[in-house]
Amino acid sequence: MLNMTPKEIHKRKGLKINPAKTCQPIGAMYASLGIHNCLPHSHGSQGCCAYHRSHLTRHYKEPIMAATSSFTEGAAVFGGGANLRQALKTMFSVYKPDVVAVHTTCLSETIGDDLPTLIKKAADDGIIPKGKTVIHANTPSYVGSHVTGFANMTAAMVKYLAEKNGHSGKLVSVIPGYVEPSDMREIKRILNLMGVRHVLFPDTSDVLDAGQKGKFTMYPRGGVKVEELKSTGSSELTLALGKFASETGAQMLEQKCDVPFQVLDLPIGISATDRFIEALIDITGASPPETLIEERGRAVDIMTDMLQYFHGKKVAIFGDPDQVLSLTEFAVNLGMKPVHVLTGTPGKLFERKAKKIIGQAAESPNVKSSGDLFLLHQWIKNEPVDLLIGNTYGKYIARAEDIPFVRFGFPILDRIGHSYFPTVGYRGAIRLLEKMLDAIMDRQDRDAPDFRFELVM
């Protein structure tokens, strides 16, 4: 399918082929679903909302509830204010959310709709019922990526809802980054084991992985509550897990409520998880419980058993920047050589951090932010790898170049169950180790002649 991808690389300025990202509103919609009883609202055309919903639905295999302003030609000319007012009336009267989280699209951004004014006018006119909340984030698709949209909507939660009530009770706000519901649940489990009183936001656990009980529920029981979001203004500290997805919200909380923040890497792999635990030790002053020590021990034991199979293997990694950086560090710790590392999200900081992480592990690695999968494919043609790690779109490269492939990140459209297994923390490290080694050993078995087709590794 990709047989026409040339090996010779030409510098491109204004063209992306198979971008390694998707658009801001998808990230904003995902973040919105992490608020309890929240209905995301796409301020734009019906087609935009349908795409965002379907993309998330295909990844999570769950029906994504969202509304739209349903722009037509008239809205494109005269603005979408009337559409938004009618949409708010319908949402609150029919679907009865506690929160409506509005995100913009390319069209409404190009028109220049003034959402703060439109929302205030709707509240003044009684369209927004008492006790209900409408927040908004500007998320033009022609800027950034879905990670940017997630970050902007998270900042909007703080902007609209956080209240400065002084610092009390050693409350810690935690922004988990663009990760799966299972990852958010695992982060909360670690926080609870460490005795950290916290508010994690957004929180899509028990929303996009809610159990099947035989009855439709418009708003599952999960998600961070409005009262909890208000209390973040009283936090002693914010932990932002992942600079690209989480720092914007932490900065907003510091700006609005004087809450200091610390940016950590996503706790993927042993080293990044160690740093997360160390930060929690600094907060609590307590030693980690035996449960976490045992989990780390198991992860290190399995890692040690597997090192001989990972050592020296060349790997290509692509996806969301925070995830790719932590995963690259994990690969280096396994003795692998990350020769190609790419994200579709803009940001030169990614390139500097990735090169620093790789260090001497790989000679002259290819590292690129705001890249695309066409470039990644060309890199691989010039320097083949033993393993490819990334989202579903990598399967075409894996097939074209006959490379073992591990699906990781967003979106994963052709498999089921990935959102139920965490990849953060020590438990997540074990899960990743298994997936990566399975891919490598499956290839070894496939290619082995009969006399090398071993029963025992």
Same domain? 69 vs 125: yes
Please give the Cα distance from 422 to 186 (Å, whole number): 7
Mean pLDDT of all residues belonging to the chain: 95
Q: For tokens 């989202």, name the residue.
A: 391
Query: Is position 433 within any domain?
Result: yes
Contact 35, 99 (CB under 8 A): yes
Contact 91, 219 (CB under 8 A): no
Name residue 134's beta-bridge partners: 100
Query: Is position 17 within any domain?
Result: no
pLDDT of residue 441 exceeding 70: yes
> Which of 239, 260, 284 is at the close of a domain?
284
Averaged pLDDT for residues 55-83 = 91
pLDDT of residue 58 exceeding 90: yes
User: Which residues does 375 contact at the CB level (< 8 Å), separation at least 6?
Assistant: 9, 17, 342, 368
**Alpha carbon distances (Å) from 271 to 242, 327, 447:** 14, 10, 33
Same domain? 141 vs 184: no
Same domain? 199 vs 263: yes
Averaged pLDDT for residues 412-433 = 96
Same domain? 342 vs 446: yes
As a dihedral over the C-alpha atoms of residue 313, residue 317, residue 322, residue 323, rounded to 10 degrees, the angle is -80
Owning domain of residue 41: 24-161
Please give the Cα distance from 65 to 112 (Å, whole number): 26
Query: Is position 6 within any domain?
Result: no
- pLDDT band at 11; cut points 50, 70, 90: confident
Query: Is position 3 within any domain?
Result: no
Chain CA centroid to CA 399, Å = 26
> Which of 284, 319, 339 is at the close of a domain?
284
Please give the Cα distance from 425 to 265 (Å, whole number): 12
Averaged pLDDT for residues 333-346 = 97
Please give the Cα distance from 383 to 413 (Å, whole number): 28
Query: pLDDT value at position 78?
Result: 82
Same domain? 145 vs 251: no
Same domain? 34 vs 156: yes
pLDDT of residue 327 exceeding 80: yes
Query: pLDDT value at position 40?
Result: 98
**Alpha carbon distances (Å) from 73 to 35, 47, 77, 91, 147:** 32, 13, 6, 23, 30
Same domain? 149 vs 222: no
CATH code where residue 320 lies: 3.40.50.1980
Query: pLDDT value at position 13?
Result: 81
Same domain? 303 vs 254: no
Same domain? 150 vs 39: yes
**Alpha carbon distances (Å) from 151 to 148, 242, 330:** 5, 10, 24
Is the peptide bond prior to 202 cis by the omega test (within 30 degrees of 0)? yes
Same domain? 112 vs 85: yes
Same domain? 400 vs 436: yes
Query: Is position 2 within any domain?
Result: no
pLDDT of residue 167 exceeding 70: no
- Run of H or E including 351: helix 348-358
Query: Is position 457 within any domain?
Result: no
Query: Is position 456 within any domain?
Result: no
pLDDT of residue 439 exceeding 70: yes
Same domain? 97 vs 137: yes
Which has the closest alpha carbon to 337: 312, 370, 357? 312
Residues in the chain: 457
Which has the closest alpha carbon to 153: 194, 219, 103? 103
Please give the Cα distance from 101 to 169 (Å, whole number): 29
User: How much is the pTM?
Assistant: 0.96
- What is the percentage of the chain residues whose pLDDT exceeds 70? 99
Q: Give tens-digit pLDDT for 239-295.
A: 999 999 999 999 999 999 999 999 999 999 999 999 999 999 999 999 999 999 999
- pLDDT band at 213; cut points 50, 70, 90: confident
Please give the Cα distance from 8 to 371 (Å, whole number): 16
Please give the Cα distance from 64 to 201 (Å, whole number): 19
User: Which residues does 299 contact at the CB level (< 8 Å), separation at least 6?
Assistant: 270, 426, 427, 429, 430, 433
- Run of H or E including 387: strand 387-390
Query: Is position 264 within any domain?
Result: yes
Name residue 100's beta-bridge partners: 39, 134
DSSP state of 288: P
**Alpha carbon distances (Å) from 440 to 12, 171, 394:** 34, 44, 16
Q: How many domains does the chain have?
A: 3
- pLDDT band at 168; cut points 50, 70, 90: low
Contact 133, 225 (CB under 8 A): no
Chain CA centroid to CA 264, Å = 15
